[in-house]
Amino acid sequence: MEPIRLSKRMAELGLCSRREADEYIAKGWVKVDGKIVDVLGSKVTPDQTITLEPSAKAAQADRVTVLINKPVGYVSGQAEDGYQPAVVLFKPENQWEGDDSGIRFAPAHLRGLAPAGRLDIDSVGLLVLTQDGRVAKHLIGADSQVEKEYLVRVSGKLSEDGLRKLNHGLSLDGEKLKPARVWWQNEDQLRFILKEGKKRQIRRMCELVGLQVVGLKRIRIGRMMLGNLPTGKWRYLKSGETF
């Protein structure tokens, strides 16, 4: 069996992200077959047993995940073209009054907080920010099967077999899209359920079948619903809640 980097193997096993793995290794918080390995770049074989020390598990427990109802005009990630990133909304005065997580806001929660998935500047709804590499991998890793659900208001005339193509049969960037579930919610609104998230995917899919997107709102990621979280407000993911 070909040895691979310890950090890569830890990420494959879902123990943490590769960045977190390097941090834990450097701090002496990782054991391989019962022995501490603290040298970055160390390699292991797939049959070796990797465990985290209690200190690493405690650090993971302190990492937060935040659900935001993103308004129009904010970008998901880094600031661009003069537009602010959604993370600027993560401040005490914007915490939803209905947040019953029991977690108190702390400036330390901003450290390493990053979006787990895109929601473009003209779209609104559920956006996840997380400090936890395990959450990010689950939601946006290459093998993620987590569903994302959207309400999409459209204009234009749908091509004859457009709805069938939206469900399965379109390609973007030279790649066939995974099967989706798309149906009419009402006369001018479609409901989309996807398991992938290419850049501006829904808008581009609609253009291919003769429709223009007028409004787009993400209402669910996995088991987590946007619910009645108000626009521009955020809440913590509670203990016991999972995607």
Domains of the chain: 4-61 (3.10.290.10), 65-142+224-236 (3.30.70.580), 148-221 (3.30.70.1560)
Could you give the C-alpha distances from 68 to 10, 64, 127, in angstroms and in order? 29, 13, 5
Q: Give the dihedral of Cα atoms 113, 125, 205, 200; nearest 10 deg.
A: -40
pLDDT bracket for residue 77 (50, 70, 90)? confident
- Phi-psi category of residue 202: left, alpha or beta, with phi > 0 → left and psi -120 to 50 → alpha: alpha
pLDDT tens digits for range 196-206: 988 899 999 99
pLDDT value of position 102: 92
pTM metric for this prediction: 0.81
How far, in Å, CA of 238 to CA of 64, rounded? 9
Mean pLDDT, the chain, rounded, equals 92
Q: What is the mean pLDDT of residues 173-195?
A: 95
Q: Identify whether 99 is a catalytic site residue.
A: no
Q: Are 153 and 213 in contact (CB under 8 A)?
A: yes
- For residue 207, what pLDDT is reported? 96
Binning pLDDT at 50, 70 and 90, where does residue 59 land?
confident
Of the candidates 33, 62, 120, 122, the residue annotated as catalytic is 120
CA distance 3 to 44: 5
Q: Please, what is the end-to-end C-alpha distance for the chain in angstroms?
A: 34
Q: What number of other Cβ atoms are within 10 A of residue 129's Cβ?
A: 28
Q: What is the mean pLDDT of residues 152-178?
A: 94
Phi and psi for 77 in degrees, rounded to 5? Answer: -105, -125
Distance CA 119, CA 121 (A): 7
Mean pLDDT across 94-102: 96
Look at residue 82 in the predicted model and tell me its pLDDT. Answer: 82
